[in-house]
Amino acid sequence: MSASDPARPVALLARPGQARERLRQALEAAGGRIVLEEDPCALDATALAAAAPQAVLVALEPAVEDALEALEPVLEAPGMLAIFDEAELAARRDVWEAQRLIRHLSAKLNGHDDVLPP
């Protein structure tokens, strides 16, 4: 992204730990601008909406399922890009898989289909 094309604001919803660290790194590498990083179990829909993300990346795991129901009004809002990833998979991705995730996140955040490695 160029200086005239600001990074898309993204909320990262994941419990603290390895998955959240890796997803943060992937988002930053993909050109996302993290406007909120929070445990979905400690967040309400008002706080999520107030951060004004255009996209939300959620690390899915059983412990956050109930919390996500409360966030549905924001996750399902018109124009919101909701991206879901399995927390367990995110925590144990190898380098090749991590690079693949970065390409796919970049495509989703920037609205293109270019996911092939250079």
CA atoms of 112 and 96, how far apart (whole Å): 21
What's residue 109's pLDDT?
87
pLDDT given for residue 104 in this prediction: 87
CA dihedral 57, 63, 64, 67 (to 10 degrees): -170
Segment 43-51 shows an average pLDDT of: 96
The residue that leads in pLDDT, 5 or 55, is 55
Does the pTM surpass 0.75? The reply is yes
Write the pLDDT tens digit of every residue in 62-112: 999 999 999 999 999 999 999 999 999 999 988 889 899 998 898 888 876
Task: Give, in degrees to the nearest 5, the angle at Cα 78 between 73 and 81.
Answer: 90
Please tell me the predicted confidence (pLDDT) of residue 3.
42
Residue with tokens 């706080």: 47
